[in-house]
Amino acid sequence: MQFDVLIIGGGLAGLSSALRLADAGLAVGLVQKRPSEQSCSNWAQGGIAAALGPGDSPEQHAADTLATGSGLCDPAAVSFVAEQAPAAVDWLLQQGAAFTRPGAGEPLHLTREGGHGRRRIVHADDATGQAVMAALLPRVVDHPGITRLEDHIAVDLITAAKLGLPGLDRCLGIYALDRTSGQVETLAAGAVLLATGGASKIYRYTTNPDTSTGDGIAMAWRAGCRVANMEFVQFHPTCLYHPHAKSLLISEAVRGEGGVLRLPDGRRFMSSHDPAAELAPRDIVARAIDFEMKRGGYDCVYLDISHRPADEVRSHFPNISRRLEGFGIDITRQPIPVVPAAHYSCGGIVTGLDGTTDLPGLYAVGECSHTGLHGANRLASNSLLECVVFGAAASAHIIAARRPAEAVALPDWDESRVSDPDELVVVAHNWDELRHFMWDYVGIVRTDKRLTRALHRVRLLQEEITEFYSNFRVTNDLIELRNLALVAELTILSAMSRRESRGLHYNRDWPERLPEARNTVLDPQL
């Protein structure tokens, strides 16, 4: 199968890019291992940051982003995104996104979240991602220029260098496993755009769906691309703590609208950790919760918005209210038990502001990329925004450099020397072990000893995974485990190389912040 462009991933970055490219007349192949409804984008609650309110400006939005990023943001990337934010919101409105308005015909309702100096969060109640995806998905499904390859997971990128072709290396396509048939297919394209999201499933506790396995980051690294700032993993401060709940995030907007954090005895504690209290950036709030839980031996802390009018709470957070009622929690009367959980990967594949990577023909957009926007910590509600802004920029570059698939026969996937896996329990065991030691050793608070232990453990796991991958037919779980182990190693190596504490990375052995901010860049060529 041949396409002008292959897009890997069906979240907001993938869908918005697919529509722009297909509207320009390019033949697009959209590869999705799970339905778009199971993407991080669809699960996003808070909203999209844009300077649309009175007295606000892109410059102020940029200033808040830079402050949250702890000195590591690229000012050019930050300014670019802040300036493009109003246009991104307008584009989504044109696609039919039903954002919340106080009344029919009135301006968009703007809420506020931690780290923002003003109300600038465009939202659709407390389910913004779902509303945005609901607007885009029907257009993608019906578009004649988009071929959807559902239940397909990318195995690896096909490059000229891997095939031993002369001349400049470039991306030629991908191998993808059809999860239904079990067959690996060869897909050729003039350009490949990675929109695979982050890698929070390397941790035991996460707010992310099961799709967040770092596939794009791992494939790009194996193809020779640099990655940067992998140590900066954002732990969302407030994930529901309940034995029957999985990955249920409690939106930042709950604190933005007056929710307060309390210990089990009812005492507030955030003001002793930061002057901004509950509205401090996520890294500070997550570390404060982690500190209080460990100091007091608590299983969780509590997020309380019951002091606000009940009708107002239910109106502003209808989906959270409804979901929690299913667990027997009435947020208008009871505090919500919460714990921090891995939420967002601030590092990723090194790209330019047009989505280009180190490998010609390969682009990366969204959470799998590193543009310099987030620095050492992502400002709330800049993630959906990033997907739309850089999706547009990458699409424009692909359209301008339009290139057909190479006129070279790509070899089929070789299964001549492998057999069916005999003990899949090995894969399940390694997955479980990886997520446990990453949580214990490479979590919110780190030490040199913990990181050394984690590196030793992950390399032992990789030996087992490589042996399994070399001798047995690939499965979805094996592909994801292979990618997760690699991304975990890159995260550990990045954390070990940073001899300071900055933003989301806190190391007890290096508690001070260095005067000069430097990115951690790993290069597979070195």
Please tell me the distance from the alpha carbon of residue 313 to that of residue 305, in angstroms, as a whole number: 8
Nearest alpha carbon to residue 452 among 421, 411, 489: 489
Report the run of H or E that residue 406 belongs to, with start and end. Answer: none
Give the pairing type, strands 260-262 and 348-350. Answer: unpaired
Q: How many residues does the chain have?
A: 526
Please tell me the distance from the alpha carbon of residue 359 to that of residue 341, in angstroms, as a whole number: 33
Contacts with 266 (C-beta within 8 Å, 6 or more apart), sequence order: none
Asked if 282 is an active-site residue, the reply is yes
Give the helix ranges, DSSP H, for 231-338. Answer: 252-256, 282-296, 310-316, 318-325
Which SS3 state, helix, strand or coil, does residue 311 take?
Answer: helix
Please tell me the distance from the alpha carbon of residue 116 to that of residue 85, in angstroms, as a whole number: 15
Nearest alpha carbon to residue 300 among 264, 249, 252: 264
359, exposed or middle or buried, with CB in 10 Å at 0-12, 13-18, 19+? buried
Q: Which of 20, 120, 255, 282 is catalytic?
A: 282
Contacts for 268-274: CB closer than 8 Å, 24+ residues apart: 269/301
Please tell me the distance from the alpha carbon of residue 3 to that of residue 397, in angstroms, as a whole number: 17
408, exposed or middle or buried, with CB in 10 Å at 0-12, 13-18, 19+? exposed
Please tell me the distance from the alpha carbon of residue 78 to that of residue 41, in angstroms, as a whole number: 21
DSSP string, 22-53: HHTT--EEEEESS-GGGSHHHH--S-EE---S
Give the pairing type, strands 171-178 and 233-240. Answer: unpaired
* Contact criterion met (CB below 8 Å) for 174 and 156: yes
CA-based radius of gyration for the chain = 22
Which SS3 state, helix, strand or coil, does residue 435 take?
Answer: helix
Q: Report the phi/psi class of residue 55: left, alpha or beta, with left for phi > 0 and alpha for psi in -120 to 50.
A: left
Using the Cα atoms of residue 446, residue 450, residue 451 and residue 457 in order, give the sign of their dihedral: negative
Nearest alpha carbon to residue 17 among 391, 365, 399, 402: 391
Structure-derived torsion over alpha carbons of residues 148, 154, 156, 157, reported in degrees to the nearest 10: 20
Residues assigned a catalytic role: 282
